Structure 1
Amino acid sequence: MQRRTILAMTTASILALGFSTATAATVAEGDTLAEKQVFSYRLLDQFPTLDPQLNEETAGSHVLRQIMEGLMTQDADGNLRPGVATGFEASEGNTVYTFTLRDTAKWSNGDPVVAQDFVNGWRRAADPATASPYAWYVELTQMKNAAEIVAGTMDPTELGVEAVDDHTLKVTLNQPVPYFPAMTSYATLSPIHMPTVEEFGSDWTAPENYVGNGAYTLKEMALNEYFTLVKSPTYWDADSVIIEEVTGLVINDVNQALTRYESGEYDMLEPLPAGTYPRLKTERPDEAKSVPRLCSYYYAINQRADAQPELRDPRVRQALSYAVDRNVIVDQILQGGELPGYNFAHAATAGFEMPDIEYAGWTQAERDAKAKELIAEAGVEDLELKLIYNTDENHKKIATVLSQMWKQKLGITVTLSNMEWSTYLDVRRGGNFDLARVAWCGDYNEASTFLDILTTDQEQNDGKWSNAEYDKVIAASKTSDHPATEYKAAEQILSDDMGIIPVYHYANTFLLDPAIKGFPMNNVENNWYAKDFYRVAD
């Protein structure tokens, strides 16, 4: 058996992940700390849950990153760094990973964090009884027996993860996944304090009950208003944590959010109102930021058996996509450095080879002409569609412009319906739509984080697009020596069949108070940790 530590590994995929030994905030020479160390930011929507195994969206992930810590975390450049684990060894051709856990890690109630806590959390995520919307993520790791457990045909205790002792965790995979350590930084693979869950049931996430192992603890929360976190005295690296308190304010109206930022109510606003970045960059050059963001914005097309029959015709789906003038969206509406999207995986994805999508090279006039031709071939007349999106001025502007494009170019009438976040997620999952706004942000920096979610049985595939050849190619990528080839082929199939309507690849446009230092500008996943921040004096 060949064993190599991460610091000596030569596998290209592992090295691409990078590795950092940094822990928390490092004050730059010459900086004077402010007397009050606080950080506050705006959230677009109230996160539905702070249960790491039930979370499925970005707002909750940002909070969970502060109050829960996985085996590995990320530094400012997106490199892996130690979390609860001090490091790991890969063996058996990257099918067995052995993590060494630090003996100083503690839960917020003072209990030690041990390997069994990770075993419990991962089993819980895969267990159908938990009904985790991210159970597929456990299966995606290729952990032994994960697929069978998620399908309900095997007991969760058979999952390929074992507590060798309190500080040694062994993970066995069905096949090599060189980027597996990076996957452990996501909230789904957090440990869990089972005595708390068993005592309080679904109420365990209430502030007065919550037991986490992150740098902060949940102090208070008012739904749809705000939450407050405070520095955890039991965190293993508490001495390096400078920010004492973190506050999040839920503000649905992006224009109101900007006004409140400008009045000094909080330190960070993301995203910016559509089209405001150029002006704000001029007016606030030290505050306005635009950096790559590993997210893709698209519309799911409902292809369930009871959906509009016209949408099951690839010609209609192609016409809808071709008629979208993406340059209008990124250059006239957003204006924040976003890229037009003609494929799914973000252009900044590590190791991704962009496919040659034919219609991406056409002029918009050529795309429009082809769209009209396809609609005529399909014999579609007087088609009426329902488009849903979660409440946000930016989403509304994009949906309004796209509906006008489809009406003017194709004669298709689109009714827009917006709703608050939790309701929107339920409606989208239930398939009560024709078109649905979706954004997918990478859970780790590798193309499979995008492409896997569009396979036939994937829970996050809300449009229920299904293509046997696509599924076959994605399956082949799991054992490929050069999966970029399969990813490229999958993107081509997706484009030819137009399983979704890509719109744009994100840039992260935001405002940040210059007093806040340590924000990870080069982390394309936008995985920030408040423990890395500090506030300088005015």
Structure 2
Amino acid sequence: MRLIMNISFKKSLVALATIASLSVTLSPVVKAADVPSGVQLAKEQVLKEGTRDYPVTADPAKATDAASNAVLLDVYNQLVNYDDKGNIIPGDAKSWDVSPDGKTVTFHLRPGLKWSDGSPLTAHDYEFAFKRWVDPKTGSDYAYYLSLSNVVNSKEVMDGKVSPDKLGVKALDDTTLQIKLDKATPYFVNTLGIGFASPISEKNYKKWGEDYFKPEHMVSNGAFKIDQWVINEKVVSVRNKNYWNNKKTVLDKVVYRGVPDYATQVNFYKSGELDTTYTVPIEQYSKIKKEMPNQLHTNDILKVFYYDFNTQKAPFDNVKVRKALSYTINREALANSVIGMGSKPLYSLLPSNTAGHNQFKPAWSKEDPKALAQKAVKLLNEAGYNKEHPLEFSVLVANTPEFKKAAQAIQSMWQSTLPVKVKLNVVEYKTWLAEKFQPTHQVVADDWYGDYNDPTTFFGLFTSTSTQNGSHFQSKEYDTLIDKAATASSDAERRKYFTEIDKLIDKKMFIAPQYSSSLPYLVKPYVKGWANQNPLAYFYAKNVYITKHS
């Protein structure tokens, strides 16, 4: 049976779960810069892109920040990509087959793929990159993704029990990559469009080692290649003439400017130093919407804000403390009044536009706020805290407008309702990124972008093998539910398990979900092909062109 590749994820999930075998062939349309007839292009095809912060690394296995991933999505190509709506489309793989039992996925690479230096790119480079990705020596925070996707021996490799050579990823020849799974995993292919799943030139890496990721040694397979990397300032990429679809690329250069202060980004945008912004400041949103309505775009993205409670450290090893704090966060006020910009209150870790789940809302969320506050006070009293002996703790907060504004509002909610004293430990974004998973912190203000459109990209954060588990929560019951959901044979069965996971999170309250957010950002009128409705907030410079302007 043939399926066209730009089907929605929900439909693909049901199809994968119900048919015996699957052969996916190339979609007739591969996303690239599509310039309408008669459009006059600017002489200089340069995009000046504002990123969330300064890009940190060019190593796909170690890029956990949004800024680095913005660069890597342009300089690397993956087996699959995402279209403007977040659906899977072919990347380096022109097609792939799934075995009747769903446990073997075979990718067929496009013929003649090349690295930016002109050398052949083969399936062996993908095999090498995947094995390096999961190797404990690499230290990738995202290695657990392969375990979550049930790739054969991935967990054993991560735990150091077997060699990376035993990973279930093998190049059968130069254009055929086979990946074996322990269990049928319907969403597996959808995880492979992330930057971590990029290939690495085995030949060049073995020659240069970790210096491979320096601009002077690194080779790329994406539409662009890195030309300059100025630490704490900018990254410059230029067109890769050896990219397989270079004839459809229009831009010649992309300049990524790391500007952590979003107000400064807007100023740079207004002065012409930036063509796009990563986002806009909360406090300027209404004004910008009024002044530049045609330049302000908004994506309803897969992003959730929540607090991690360190369940391994007193007093947050006590579920009564965790529940008392979660009960007294007014999520409606937080999302609608404090943050705004299209945010939505959440009682689950899953944004409402996450595919394949039933939105969860616990019974306590419908209780009268005053009665709920009294219940929370009682829980703290039972845990040994009162006005004479208040609960004192600190919250690690990133120094960004949204994090700070939300944290200050929640601090006020808690201190006006409960016998608590809350200190906000506000640190630079890079410091927050480096420290937030350390077991020394009591509470961490956290967020998460979905890497693919499925509940497992969020729920997988809190498995026992996850290195992204800021709550340090460990539960065999949780792991088992994740495993059952990952291998369920129908959409209805998966939804049932995801609801059980929601209920378990609410019961244990190791995190306090708060709200999902949208992403408002500015784009110059002459920049075409940038704005989209991708819920993953993935933007590809290869789709962009600059029209003639003054």
Separation of aligned partners in 2, 1:30 and 1:313? 66
Secondary structure (helix, strand or coil) at the match of 1:310 reads: coil
Change (3 A) 1:515 1:294: same
For 1:180-329, list aligned pairs within 5 A: 180-304=188-312, 307=313, 309-329=314-334
Q: What percentage of aligned pairs have identical amino acids?
A: 29
For 1:114-129, list aligned pairs within 5 A: 114-129=122-137
Which residue in 2 is equivalent to 1:416? 424
Matched, 1:140 2:148: yes
Separation of aligned partners in 1, 2:397 and 2:209? 32
Offset at residue 100 of structure 1 (A)? 0.8
Offset at residue 6 of structure 1 (A)? 4.3
Separation of aligned partners in 1, 2:154 and 2:100? 19
Separation of aligned partners in 2, 1:360 and 1:195? 56
**Which residue of the other structure, out of 175, 183, 193, is the alignment partner of 1:167?**
175
Render the CA deviation track for 1:398-443: whole Å, top value 9, x for unaligned: 1122112211111311222222333323322222311112111111
**Which residue of the other structure, out of 398, 402, 421, is the alignment partner of 2:406?**
398
Greater mean deviation of Cα atoms: 9-18 or 499-508: 9-18
Secondary structure (helix, strand or coil) at the match of 1:152 reads: coil
Render the CA deviation track for 1:315-371: whole Å, top value 9, x for unaligned: 111111111122332222322101012110111011221124223333444433332
For 1:26-37, list aligned pairs within 5 A: 26-37=34-45
Which residue in 1 is equivalent to 2:524? 513
**Which residue of the other structure, out of 332, 337, 344, is the alignment partner of 2:337?**
332
Secondary structure (helix, strand or coil) at the match of 2:434 reads: helix
TM-score by length of 2: 0.92
> What residue identity is the alignment partner of 1:32?
Q
Which residue in 1 is equivalent to 2:499? 488
Change (3 A) 1:19 1:298: farther
Offset at residue 503 of structure 1 (A)? 1.3
Secondary structure (helix, strand or coil) at the match of 2:433 reads: helix
Change (3 A) 1:368 1:98: same
Offset at residue 457 of structure 1 (A)? 3.1
Separation of aligned partners in 2, 1:388 and 1:18? 47
Q: Contact 1:473/1:489 (CA < 8 Å) preserved in 2?
A: yes
Which residue in 1 is equivalent to 2:372? 367
Change (3 A) 1:520 1:445: farther
For 1:352-501, list aligned pairs within 5 A: 352-380=357-385, 381-481=389-489, 482-501=493-512
Greater mean deviation of Cα atoms: 508-517 or 412-421: 412-421
Separation of aligned partners in 2, 1:103 and 1:244? 25
Q: Contact 1:6/1:88 (CA < 8 Å) preserved in 2?
A: no
Which residue in 1 is equivalent to 2:542? 531
What value does the CA root-mean-square deviation take over the aligned residues?
Answer: 2.1
Separation of aligned partners in 2, 1:76 and 1:56? 22
Which residue in 1 is equivalent to 2:20? none
Separation of aligned partners in 1, 2:347 and 2:25? 29
Change (3 A) 1:285 1:532: same
Separation of aligned partners in 1, 2:412 and 2:272? 37
Offset at residue 121 of structure 1 (A)? 0.4
Which residue in 1 is equivalent to 2:347? 342
TM-score by length of 1: 0.94
Secondary structure (helix, strand or coil) at the match of 2:287 reads: helix
Q: Contact 1:302/1:464 (CA < 8 Å) preserved in 2?
A: yes
Greater mean deviation of Cα atoms: 225-234 or 264-273: 264-273
Q: How many residues are paired up?
A: 532
> What residue identity is the alignment partner of 1:328?
A
**Which residue of the other structure, out of 81, 91, 111, is the alignment partner of 1:83?**
91
Q: Contact 1:314/1:497 (CA < 8 Å) preserved in 2?
A: yes
Secondary structure (helix, strand or coil) at the match of 1:466 reads: coil
Offset at residue 483 of structure 1 (A)? 1.1
**Which residue of the other structure, out of 177, 187, 196, is the alignment partner of 2:185?**
177
Q: Contact 2:297/2:531 (CA < 8 Å) preserved in 1?
A: no
Change (3 A) 1:54 1:357: same
Q: Contact 2:154/2:167 (CA < 8 Å) preserved in 1?
A: yes
Secondary structure (helix, strand or coil) at the match of 2:378 reads: helix
Secondary structure (helix, strand or coil) at the match of 1:268 reads: coil
Offset at residue 11 of structure 1 (A)? 5.7
Offset at residue 137 of structure 1 (A)? 1.0
Q: Contact 1:298/1:503 (CA < 8 Å) preserved in 2?
A: yes
For 1:58-69, list aligned pairs within 5 A: 58-69=66-77
Separation of aligned partners in 2, 1:269 and 1:30? 28
**Which residue of the other structure, out of 481, 505, 513, is the alignment partner of 1:502?**
513
Separation of aligned partners in 1, 2:367 and 2:527? 44
Q: Contact 1:275/1:334 (CA < 8 Å) preserved in 2?
A: no
Q: Contact 2:42/2:547 (CA < 8 Å) preserved in 1?
A: yes
Separation of aligned partners in 1, 2:15 and 2:114? 29
**Which residue of the other structure, out of 44, 48, 52, is the alignment partner of 1:44?**
52
Separation of aligned partners in 2, 1:299 and 1:19? 42
Which residue in 2 is equivalent to 1:70? 78
Separation of aligned partners in 1, 2:329 and 2:58? 37
Separation of aligned partners in 1, 2:413 and 2:63? 35
Separation of aligned partners in 2, 1:333 and 1:446? 28
